[in-house]
Amino acid sequence: MNPDPRGRRIFVRPVGPVDDAIVRRLRREIGRYFGEAVEELGAMEIPEGSFDPKRNQHHSTAILKAVLSDVPAGALRVLGIVDRDLCIPILTFVFGEAQLGGTVALVSLARLRQEFYGLPPDPPLFFDRLRKESLHELGHTFGLIHCRLPDCVMYLSNTIRDVDRKGRELCRNCRESLLAKMEGGRS
């Protein structure tokens, strides 16, 4: 897939401290999926005011807005990566958030790690989860909504088990919809 014939690029932006090896691997995974190099933007600070001490979590929308405030010219999409537990007011937690049909998405590493659940680290499982959730949130930026097929990466994940059960790719219908949006310039 070539996301934009006009040469616009996808970027990954760490928000707060994120291991460089994670960012590099994620860039390669996203690049393989979309068929082009994905670039890294310099890390930005976690925005003040995003932390909710009552919940011991960060509000994802505040971080998403901060990433949106610094989108480089020529960016097709920007995926923010944060190593903090995220929430929105109406949900206990979120794995990520995205602008539906917009430019920016955000993924949290926190609940994708086995250690969050008191289990030993499992790097292959962590990266599989990160890839799925990153493609899921980027899919939203291209206008894709949640898919009813549990094998599709756009399937809604309410729990980590949902993330593990869903597939690693878009289903045929979601893939066709993504291609049509990208080729039609409506992305």
Each residue's pLDDT tens digit in the chain (187 positions)?
655 545 679 999 999 999 999 999 999 999 999 887 899 999 999 999 999 999 999 999 999 999 999 999 889 999 999 999 999 988 899 999 999 999 999 999 999 999 999 999 999 999 999 999 999 999 999 999 999 999 999 999 999 999 999 999 999 999 999 988 877 654 4
* pTM of structure: 0.93
- 36 CB-contact burial (10 Å; exposed 0-12 / middle 13-18 / buried 19+): middle
Active-site residue set:
137
Give the pair of three-digit tokens for residue 171. Answer: 């289903």
pLDDT at residue 99, rounded to an integer: 96
State residue 183's pLDDT score: 76
CA distances from 100 to 104, 120, 124, 187 (A): 9, 35, 29, 10
